[in-house]
């Protein structure tokens, strides 16, 4: 399990901190690479090449990570493949008080991310063209507005 975490952390570092790393972070990554390779019986260069070369395409990622255990490959694809972004609506509906959920189910309402409201409010004042497509799903009297597609990422998984 620790080796799986090390590989996930290494991939996250490559995705979210590309380029030159600080001395401390580079040292941590070097130790994580050695630990993962020793624990999983991998070659350092092969692991680095797989982590650096894997794009967001799930099939390409699965092929690149073929030397890793299947569960780890699935975790890497779930976290780094561009098949869609996880929607927060399931979480929001669980966190809302039951009386609010009862009202939403009976009277309806709109559940949307804060940035959707910001985009809507600022659009008429913007001198620039705004071209964003928000996925919208209606379930009974409720409307869910998802996250727009960003370059290189999938749509909200609502």
**What would you measure as the largest C-alpha separation in the chain, in angstroms?**
59
- Let me know: does 137 contact 146? Beta carbons within 8 Å: yes
Residue 31: is its pLDDT beyond 90? yes
Task: Give pLDDT, residue 51.
Answer: 82
For the chain, what is the mean pLDDT?
A: 78
- What's the pLDDT at 115? 78
Task: Give the pLDDT mean for 109-116.
Answer: 80
- The arithmetic mean of pLDDT across residues 114-131, rounded, is 79
Entry pTM: 0.50
């Amino acid at each position: 399990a620790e080796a799986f975490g090390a590989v996930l952390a290494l991939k996250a570092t490559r995705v979210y901190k590309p380029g030159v790393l600080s001395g401390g972070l580079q040292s941590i990554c070097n130790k994580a690479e050695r630990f993962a390779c020793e624990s999983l019986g991998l070659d350092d260069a092969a692991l680095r090449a797989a982590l650096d070369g894997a794009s967001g395409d799930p099939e390409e990622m699965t092929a690149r990570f073929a030397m890793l255990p299947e569960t780890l490959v699935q975790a890497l694809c779930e976290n780094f493949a561009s098949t869609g972004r996880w929607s927060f609506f399931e979480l929001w509906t669980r966190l809302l008080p039951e009386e609010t959920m009862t009202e939403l189910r009976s009277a309806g309402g709109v559940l949307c991310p804060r940035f959707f409201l910001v985009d809507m409010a600022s659009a008429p004042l913007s001198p620039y063209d705004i071209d964003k497509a928000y996925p919208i799903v209606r379930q009974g009297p409720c409307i869910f507005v998802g996250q727009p597609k960003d370059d290189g990422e999938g749509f909200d998984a609502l």
